[in-house]
Amino acid sequence: MGKIDRNKVEVEVFDIVPFVNDEYQGFKLLWKGNIGFGEYTIYQNVDDPNKWKIDSEYMDSVTDRWFGKKLLDSLIKLLE
């Protein structure tokens, strides 16, 4: 796949899946859109609850969270 034109990316969150295990707690945003589908995981180590981390399946980088912002915009539209 070539470089993604961010201005043409349309995504929507269709489910939120919370999780807790011995090491981590957080939630997965399940998304779909014109570029495919995937999971965006937001989590923290249960021993360090002040630090949040993400696994974006390589859609975001440490310095550029453009994809996460698109997903959060989609999520806000679902809120009543």
Token code pair at residue 56: 């974006």
Model confidence pLDDT, tens digit, residues 5-34: 899 999 999 999 999 999 999 999 999 999
pLDDT for res 1: 52
Cβ of 15: how many Cβ atoms within 10 Å?
10
The pLDDT-based confidence of 49 (bands split at 50, 70, 90) is confident
Q: Would you state the pLDDT for residue 80?
A: 83
- Give the closest residue to 40 by CA, choosing from 51, 52, 48, 50: 52
- Give the closest residue to 18 by CA, choosing from 41, 51, 46, 47: 41
Q: Within 13 A of 1's CA, how many CA atoms are on the CB side?
A: 6
The whole-number pLDDT of residue 52 equals 94
| pLDDT above 90: residue 2 | no
| CB 31, CB 43: distance < 8 Å | no
